[in-house]
């Protein structure tokens, strides 16, 4: 049975059977890789916010002379343009990537290896430090 307490071993299996670490060099490489995944996770969050704000800054649909139609309650409703659907699809794909990456990082932490845990935490801090100042420039 797997240990449910943190340890400092240099042997661990992460996420998949083929990602099995059995030495200090492999552990250092794994920690760096997990750190980079955590940095990418934080950058991805900022990218999604940027994408959302850039779509809100686009000209309103009326500027494209989109046709109007009346709904069942008599209220005029604008049809969505193909670019709106494309933007929504891109945001959905980025959300899916963010969720998958977040769960993968969580599973790495659940290996209960102290080095991997510190790699995820350091990557999150580094990613936040790098990416979130960019939000003020959006």
pLDDT at 51: 82
Q: Which residues pair with 26 in a beta bridge?
A: none
70-125 pLDDT per residue, tens: 555 554 445 567 777 888 888 899 999 999 999 999 999 988 889 999 999 999 99
Q: Are 30 and 19 in contact (CB under 8 A)?
A: yes
For residues 32, 38, 39 and 43, what is the CA-based torsion angle, rounded to 10 degrees? 160
Segment 39-48 shows an average pLDDT of 92
- Mapped onto helix, strand or coil, the DSSP state of residue 114 is helix
User: Has residue 130 got a pLDDT over 60?
Assistant: yes
pLDDT at 77: 42
pLDDT at 138: 66
Q: Which residue has the higher pLDDT, 3 or 21?
A: 21
Q: Which residue has the higher pLDDT, 73 or 42?
A: 42
Q: Which residue has the higher pLDDT, 137 or 1?
A: 137
pLDDT at 13: 78
Structural domain spans, the chain: 11-58+76-137
Q: Are 62 and 78 in contact (CB under 8 A)?
A: yes
48-77 pLDDT per residue, tens: 888 888 776 555 555 555 555 555 555 444
Angstrom CA distances, 17 to 12, 20, 34, 49, 93, stand at 10, 6, 16, 35, 27
């Amino acid at each position: 049975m797997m240990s449910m307490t943190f340890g400092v071993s240099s042997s661990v299996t992460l996420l998949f059977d083929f990602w099995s670490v059995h030495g200090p060099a492999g552990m250092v490489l794994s920690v760096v890789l997990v750190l980079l995944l955590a940095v990418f996770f934080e950058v991805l969050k900022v990218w999604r916010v940027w994408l959302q704000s850039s779509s809100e800054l686009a000209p309103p649909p009326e500027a494209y002379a989109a046709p109007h139609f009346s709904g069942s309650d008599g209220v005029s409703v604008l049809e969505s343009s193909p670019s709106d659907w494309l933007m929504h699809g891109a945001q959905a794909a980025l959300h899916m990537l963010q969720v998958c990456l977040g769960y993968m990082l969580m599973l790495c932490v659940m290996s209960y290896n102290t080095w991997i845990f510190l790699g995820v935490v350091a990557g999150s801090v580094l990613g936040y430090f790098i990416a979130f100042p960019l939000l003020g420039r959006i």
